[in-house]
């Protein structure tokens, strides 16, 4: 039996399971290395769209003083439980301010696209610059709208108690404009019954050339290959990359 529902906005109860194949340690370690190599070496950190705080957990272990920002209060509740040493704020990443500047700002898992529009993305970049100390580092990953294949999807499965889950995500871009879509689905099978939740989130669509132009007034920008195991330059053709930005 299959029942289908629109996926509720609050993904907090499934978030960690949905992301269980992500190597948060490797991602955090690479950015920590970049902060030592290219940043100012400071230990004050802010994670934008922090979710349930898995990256923050590793930065705390590296000795950082961490802050997290997210728009989802249930996510932040889970993050506080995981990282009681950190400070968390419920806010939109497009127009945030901090009481004191930080040395490193991260935005993992393509979350910078949640800005939603070019104008909001521009505001986000300006807010990040204002929140950083001199020589501070902004690191995030992004997808180039011109490389999106609407037929491609990422899928993985997981087991929890007596239920089997299949998670699927896919980018979709119409080929014009500044909006793309992140399509999500969760299939949960318990015994012979399957429930299917589906949803889609509007995301900002931007090319790497546009993104670099938005960043350049505020940062010295390097674009790296989307490989957290090693630090290598972007090949100028892949549609996924890591942006490493040092505040001017």
For residues 121 and 48, membership in a common domain is answered with yes
pTM over 0.85: yes
pLDDT interval class at 105 (50, 70, 90): very high
Total domains present in the chain:
2
- Mean pLDDT, the chain, integer: 93
For residues 117 and 52, membership in a common domain is answered with yes
| 219-225/193-204 β-pairing | unpaired
CA distance 7 to 1: 18
Q: Is the per-residue pLDDT at 6 higher than 60?
A: no
Domain CATH code at residue 131: 3.40.50.150
For residues 104 and 42, membership in a common domain is answered with yes
Q: What is the pLDDT of residues 30-69, one digit of tens each?
A: 999 999 999 999 999 999 999 999 999 999 999 999 999 9
For residues 83 and 128, membership in a common domain is answered with yes
CA distance 56 to 94: 20
For residues 174 and 55, membership in a common domain is answered with no
Mean pLDDT confidence for 90-116:
96
Domain range for 151 is 2-12+147-203
pLDDT interval class at 2 (50, 70, 90): very low
Give the CB-side neighbour count of residue 44, counting CA atoms within 13 A. 12
For residues 175 and 242, membership in a common domain is answered with no
Say how many C-beta atoms besides its own lie within 10 A of residue 217's C-beta: 11
Q: What integer pLDDT is reported at residue 11 of this predicted model?
A: 63
For residues 224 and 122, membership in a common domain is answered with yes
């Amino acid at each position: 039996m299959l029942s289908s529902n629109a996926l509720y906005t609050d993904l907090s109860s499934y978030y960690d399971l949905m992301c269980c194949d992500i190597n948060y340690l490797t991602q955090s370690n690479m950015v920590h290395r970049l902060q030592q190599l290219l940043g100012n070496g400071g230990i004050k950190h802010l994670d934008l769209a922090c979710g349930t705080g898995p990256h923050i957990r590793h930065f705390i272990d590296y000795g950082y003083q961490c802050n997290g920002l997210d728009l989802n209060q249930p996510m932040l509740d889970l993050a506080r439980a995981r990282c009681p040493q950190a400070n968390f704020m419920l806010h939109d990443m497009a127009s945030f301010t901090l009481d004191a500047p930080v040395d490193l700002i991260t935005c993992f898992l393509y979350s910078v696209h949640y800005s939603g529009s070019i104008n909001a993305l521009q505001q986000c970049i300006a807010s990040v610059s204002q929140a950083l100390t001199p020589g501070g580092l902004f690191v995030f990953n992004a997808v180039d709208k011109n490389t999106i294949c609407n037929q491609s999807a990422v899928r993985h499965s997981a087991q929890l108690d007596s239920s089997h889950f299949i998670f699927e995500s896919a980018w979709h871009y119409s080929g014009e404009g500044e909006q793309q879509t992140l399509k999500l689905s969760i299939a949960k099978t318990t015994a012979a019954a399957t429930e299917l939740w589906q949803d889609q989130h509007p995301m900002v669509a931007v090319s790497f050339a546009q993104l670099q132009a938005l960043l350049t007034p505020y940062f010295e920008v390097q674009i790296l290959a989307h490989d957290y195991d090693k630090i290598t330059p972007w090949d100028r053709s892949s549609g996924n990359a890591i942006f490493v930005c040092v505040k001017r």
